[in-house]
Copies of this chain bind each other. A is one copy, B any other.
């Protein structure tokens, strides 16, 4: 068979296994995996390289206004470019509904931002901020269009009530949508935040105690309880505490469809970074906040043991200036500083280096955590996230031995919170549908090369998901849980 492109000589790594093979690509798809693929117009030599499914960044904020109204510094060009240089060939930013806006309109608005600029294939997670009955009624159509996941907040101005959450979960569960949730107890955060500020504790370092782990544990427990009642699948974003990870694992062992992710910052940084002098700590303000080293170690164990299914960046690029972190001025308390840090380009190298290179996780776990699990959970398997026949040729070619000190990235940011960390293992070539997006230090793709990815609904007959029975009105939900 004739191929457009062959990747030869590499070691293939999937979520399952590592083996020697060549890959043959035609019309953007993998059409052959074989001992030797010879008949190709173009060849990439992957000798001494690892050939993996390109990363799928499943949690990032691109061309999106924050809850505080601050626009991210990255648009779909700089954001997708930075992601590509970090080994990703697909990403799923958020499309945030405005109050009063139809979801169709939200998607259309974001299409206008993404389509002309993205060098990566993309999809959206919607952010539901206004779950009116009309909006809930619109959800099945949105799922049918391929936007099959959406996020709600349990904190911020955009938070949903438990009642709204139940209605949302119920609709989503019935129609195969996956509800994602930012789980922190709003009132606990607000109460602590006000206490801190009222007590004159306004420096960035007070961000951490203002958002206690208790607030995350409480909210995760509540979200799982609501999902169990509504019989809907649930995904907990950016888990930062062992108690949260444990609740997720227990829910699954008790028959629930509950998954979760953590982020590199919770595995690599600590709240001591918030103690940096002056306003420097502002660079490390994200939510949930950075925790302590014992928490970090325990989270690694949950990553190793499978409690957590993804490591996502939560790339939220607000510059260290008045357009970003200090949109409300420089002389502010920590509550007025934009929450979030960049990391879309660091996610895979950091996870590889701290995980695979340091022997904490296997290479195959790396693939699962960075790509395949995202594809499965978010309905892109087997098109994305895998090296298999028929799949998009979304491929990252990796040099496991390259060592660099993290420094400036390709995003539109003015700082890198991970700067200075020695990282071993970097991508050298990244393909999207068989095209080179990045080769070495060169961007090969052009703005608009990326395509929208239509995603499947949650597979109710398999993993993730199983048949959602009708609610039995006579069932005694949880009466005798012990």
Using a CB–CB cutoff of 8 Å, the interface residues on chain A facing chain B are 1, 12, 14-21, 24, 31-36, 161-163, 165-167, 185-188, 190-192, 195-196, 199, 201, 205-206, 208-209, 212-215, 217-218, 221-222, 225-226, 228-229, 240-243, 245-246, 249, 252-256, 271, 291-292, 294-295, 298, 300-302, 304-307, 356, 359-365, 372, 376, 381-382, 386, 388-391, 459-463, 466-467, 471-482
Contact = CB atoms under 8 A, between A and B. Distances in A.
12 contacts: A16-B382, A17-B381, A32-B33, A163-B187, A252-B305, A253-B301, A253-B305, A292-B479, A304-B463, A361-B462, A362-B462, A365-B462
A187 B161 contact: yes
Contacts of A36: 1
A351 to B, nearest CB: 14
B212 A187 contact: no
Residue among A245, A292, A362, A475 with most chain B CB within 10 A: A362
Contacts of A361: 462-463
Nearest to A467: B359
Contact of A208 (B17, B245, B386, B476): B476
Contact of A480 (B24, B225, B291, B388): B291
Contact of A389 (B19, B300, B304, B479): B19
Contacts of A252: 304-306
Nearest to A21: B389
A212 B477 contact: yes
A225 B229 contact: no
Given A31-B34, A33-B33, A365-B463, A222 B213 contact: no
Nearest to A474: B209
Nearest to A226: B188
Given A253-B246, A462-B362, A480 B213 contact: yes
Contacts of A214: 225, 228-229, 477-478, 481
A288 to B, nearest CB: 9
A404 to B, nearest CB: 22
A473 B195 contact: yes
Contacts of A196: 473
Contact of A188 (B15, B162, B246): B162
In the A-B complex, the 6 residue pairs with the closest CB atoms: A362-B462, A212-B477, A162-B187, A362-B463, A21-B389, A252-B305
Contact of A19 (B161, B167, B215, B382): B382
Nearest to A200: B473
Contacts of A294: 480
A210 to B, nearest CB: 8
Given A187-B162, A459-B362, A217 B481 contact: yes
B255 A304 contact: yes
B382 A482 contact: no
B31 A291 contact: no
A209 B214 CA distance: 30
A39 B306 CA distance: 42
A340 to B, nearest CB: 19
Nearest to A388: B19
A475 B213 CA distance: 11
A34 B477 contact: no
B34 A302 contact: no
A196 to B, nearest CB: 5
A246 B306 CA distance: 14
Contacts of A364: 462-463
Given A21-B389, A292-B480, A475-B209, A359 B217 contact: no
Contacts of A302: 253
A16 B19 contact: no
A196 B473 CA distance: 6
A17 B255 contact: no
A242 B479 CA distance: 8
A191 B208 contact: no
B31 A477 contact: no
Contacts of A213: 476-481
